[in-house]
Amino acid sequence: MIIGIGGVSRAGKTSLALQIEKWYESGSVKILHQDDFIRPIEKMPLVKGHIDWEHPDSYDFVGLVKTIKKERKKFDIVVVEGLMVFGNQQLAKLMDKRIYIRISKEAFLSRKTLDNRWEDEPDWYIEHIWESHFVFGLVPQGFDHIMQLDGEAGFVDEIVQKYINN
């Protein structure tokens, strides 16, 4: 089974992926992070002279799809999490289950100010992250098996497990 988890930055995608991993037998789940499939820095698009991490051209979706296909032969469950896991049609079509985590702009801004993994981002870029998500990160129309979660309310294990297992 391939499970996709999408949502804006800081919505709780990685946290949910790690929780899913805990529910199953050790070694049966592989987590793939979209962030591990970035293109070389010199090939990434820029916005106002700043690397645009929020654009699909920043990611190697071909490499991610190949890795998913390879890992699904070795693991019972492959969880793929990232900002744009639903923005790429080939990638989204591979998924058996899709989970989209939404948060309010206020929660995003609050959580993002605590996130300095990449460095301190200028205010205009923080706004760019939020806006880009609605262009590149939403679940496309026409897909079944989509669970919508409120990333501010926390995840109810039983509800998510039931969705995955049905």
Q: What is the pLDDT of residue 67?
A: 98
Given a cut of 90, is residue 59 above it in pLDDT? yes
Give the separation between CA 164 and CA 76, rounded to whole angstroms: 12
Give the separation between CA 12 and CA 149, rounded to whole angstroms: 10
Mean pLDDT, the chain, integer: 90
- Does some domain include residue 82? yes
Burial class (CB in 10 A: 0-12, 13-18, 19+), 99: buried
Report the CATH number that the domain containing residue 105 is assigned in CATH: 3.40.50.300
Given a cut of 90, is residue 142 above it in pLDDT? no
Q: What is the mean pLDDT of residues 135-155?
A: 83
Given a cut of 90, is residue 140 above it in pLDDT? no
Give the separation between CA 39 and CA 119, rounded to whole angstroms: 19
As a whole-number percent, the residues of the chain with pLDDT over 70 amount to 95
109's CB contacts (< 8 A; 6+ apart) are 126, 130
Give the separation between CA 38 and CA 62, rounded to whole angstroms: 11
Each residue's pLDDT tens digit, 25-48: 888 999 999 999 999 999 999 999
- Does some domain include residue 1? no
- Does some domain include residue 56? yes
Structural domain that includes position 50? 6-165
Phi-psi label, residue 106: left if phi above 0, alpha if psi -120 to 50, beta otherwise: alpha
- Does some domain include residue 89? yes
Q: What is the mean pLDDT of residues 90-100?
A: 92
Reported confidence tier of residue 69, pLDDT bands at 50, 70, 90: very high
Record the pTM. Answer: 0.91
Give the separation between CA 103 and CA 83, rounded to whole angstroms: 13
- Does some domain include residue 107? yes
Give me the phi and psi of 131, to 5 degrees please.
-65, -40
- Does some domain include residue 74? yes
Residue 163's H or E segment, with its range, is helix 157-165
Number of domains in the chain: 1
